[in-house]
Amino acid sequence: MKITNKHNLPQTIVNAIERPNYSKGNAALSVTELIGPPQLVALKHKHESELESDAADMVWSLFGSAVHSILEQGADEDHILEERLYATVNEWTISGAVDVQRYTDTGIDVLDYKVVKAYSVMNEKPEWELQLNCYAWLINQNKQSKVQSLAIVAIVRDWSAREAERVNDYPQAPVVVIPVRLWGKIEQEEYINKRVHLHQAAYVDVNVGTNPKACTSEEMWEKPTSWALMKEGRKSAVKVHWDKPPEVPDEKHFIEVREGERTRCKSYCPVSQFCSQYQTYLGEE
């Protein structure tokens, strides 16, 4: 991937972004890729040399890496940090680097650091549970000690003391530990086997020139079109309708159309220009 510098950031920042420490090692998929959309991952692998990203869009990723490096200095003797583990499923090797494994007499506690906005703490991301259970599976594949708990350590980069006082479910400190549900062994294995199968199918489709299985609405972060019933002199909607436009009760009311979109495809997918599903969608708009 080519890194551009459209906003003329200092070269030291660009250099740091261009020289990441991350590597999935000798693996077909990282855990992050495994839980990601198979079509996106397969297209990214195929078009890696054609992709580009601007340094300004990668600053918060760099910040997250910096936080990880600093927190390594706080490790205790019973901690294993940033250990990359491997396991094979259907001839594909999966790898994942676990931020912290904390050993106790009864098992291993897995901690994963995230630098996030307060919104993410208030609306936990479902992929956190997927990611950490994949890590738990990797640990259990490689070690005799078993995982007994999972947690996200969220570092809230936009934390506000004023908001913490004002909003009940706002994080009450700039660092929040969020417990994550630990799946049973069968649930972990069924999920990982299913994901590997989906990724292998997408890989074959992309490389033989056929369209892979389409991304789901959830994977595209799709927002459907809605119709807001508005009233003169009022900023917020009286009511939002998702199935069809409502009737306008009188001349003081009007309809505001809120166009749907595929948010990930539009703003966050690195391979949207190569994706026939998204290009077809754009042609239908």
What are the pLDDT digits (tens) for 1-38? 999 999 999 999 999 998 876 788 899 999 999 999 99
**Domain boundaries in the chain?**
2-208, 222-284
2-208 is classed in which CATH architecture? Answer: Alpha-Beta Complex (3.90)
**Polymer length in residues for the chain:** 285
Taking CA atoms, 31 is separated from 155, 230, 273, 283, in Å, by 21, 45, 25, 33
pLDDT confidence of 166, banded at 50, 70, 90?
very high
**Mean per-residue pLDDT for 109-132?**
97
pLDDT confidence of 68, banded at 50, 70, 90?
confident
Local structure of 132: helix, strand or coil:
helix
Cβ-based neighbours of 144, under 8 Å, separated by 6 or more: none
- The residue ranges of DSSP E strands in the chain, in sequence order, are 2-4, 29-30, 52-54, 79-89, 92-103, 108-116, 147-156, 175-180, 222-223, 226-231, 239-241, 253-258, 261-262
**Mean per-residue pLDDT for 212-239?**
94
- Please state, as a whole number, how many other Cβ atoms lie within 10 Å of the Cβ of residue 68: 17
- Please state, as a whole number, how many other Cβ atoms lie within 10 Å of the Cβ of residue 4: 12
**Mean per-residue pLDDT for 58-65?**
90
Residue 273, pLDDT > 80, answer: yes
The pTM (predicted TM-score) of the whole model is 0.90
The Cα 135–Cα 102 span in angstroms is: 13
Residue 285 pLDDT: 67
